[in-house]
Amino acid sequence: MPELPEVETMCRGIHSIISQRVVTIEQPPCDCRPCLIEPDIPTMHRRLQHQTVTAIERRGKRVMIRFENRDRLVIEPRMSGLVLLADPPGVDHLRMRIHFASRPNSASNSSTRSSNTELLVWDRRGLGTIRLMNPDEYEQNVNARLGEDALTIAANTLRNRLVDSARAIKVALLDQAVVAGIGNLYAVEILFVAGIDPQTVCKKITRPQWTRLHAAITHVLDEAIANEGSTLSDGTYRNALNQSGGYQNMHRVYDREDEPCIRCERGRIRRVVQAQRSTFFCPECQRRTGKHASVDDSFSASRRDAATWFH
């Protein structure tokens, strides 16, 4: 489940390991389905021991830890993975433990660093991946395969990449090669805010709809990050300090089948299946005609207007 807001929250939560150096990397005993770890732990340990963390980065739905030798540890949580500093949901699904020590003569606050001396990768279902990559491997296997990040992609770039597509817009937004970071949950929330039927074919979307869509992407993702992501009913997603997110309390359509629409109050949220994923939308607010039930084509692309339009 972790999508861009959850992964961004993970990245921010582990920011305190920057300037710390790796002491050991361990793979705790786990009888569950194994995660993909490349290279193996002994090789990873040899490459990273004594290396200092220089940056925490995010690329789409991936947590990336960059080291002084320019290697990146790329962690893709996928359905049930977490990156934590403490208190995993349980020890049975721990996949990796990295012990850190403060860099000698570091100017950073030592009392803060002493409380965050290890990084934990936890994955209940074992679907995530952990890969150590040098710059060339990163460019070939991550950067070249992903589209621009959903928080930085320009409106014209988004439209140009999809305007001729015969795919439904909801399905297209899930294509990480087009735009990186949006998954099923946030795609349906974004399309609701934009007033677009998720079943609309991309090439039939009007220019005003593209404008609304781009503004809605920024607005919804920023809003979700501010609330540290969504912890769903299974309780799997937690932030780096093992606390639940808050955005699940603000969902407008996701998992609200048959409930009244909170915007128009006339429609009831419908559920359909697209590309084997559940899609939720309001048939009154989200139409395929290019017109929204309550908004004309003068909708602005600014974040402020996107927020005002919804509220």
With tokens 């980065």, the residue in question is 57
Is 80 in contact with 128 (CB distance < 8 Å)?
Answer: yes
For 304, the token pair is 């402020």
- The helix (run of H) or strand (run of E) holding residue 223 is helix 207-226
Is 33 an annotated catalytic residue?
no
Q: How far apart are the first and last CA of the chain?
A: 27
Identify the active-site residue in 2, 5, 77, 198.
2
Identify the active-site residue in 47, 277, 287, 288.
277
Is 137 an annotated catalytic residue?
no
Is 2 an annotated catalytic residue?
yes
Is 191 in contact with 286 (CB distance < 8 Å)?
Answer: yes
How far apart (Å, rounded) are the C-alpha atoms in residues 294 and 310? 10
Positions of E strands within 127-227: 129-133, 148-149, 179-180
Is 77 an annotated catalytic residue?
no
Q: Are strands 62-67 and 81-84 parallel, antiparallel or unpaired?
A: unpaired
Identify the active-site residue in 21, 61, 124, 256.
61
Is 178 in contact with 147 (CB distance < 8 Å)?
Answer: yes
Identify the active-site residue in 3, 76, 189, 223.
3
Query: Would the CA dihedral through 113, 115, 119, 123 be positive or negative?
Result: negative
Q: Which residues are catalytic?
A: 2-3, 61, 277
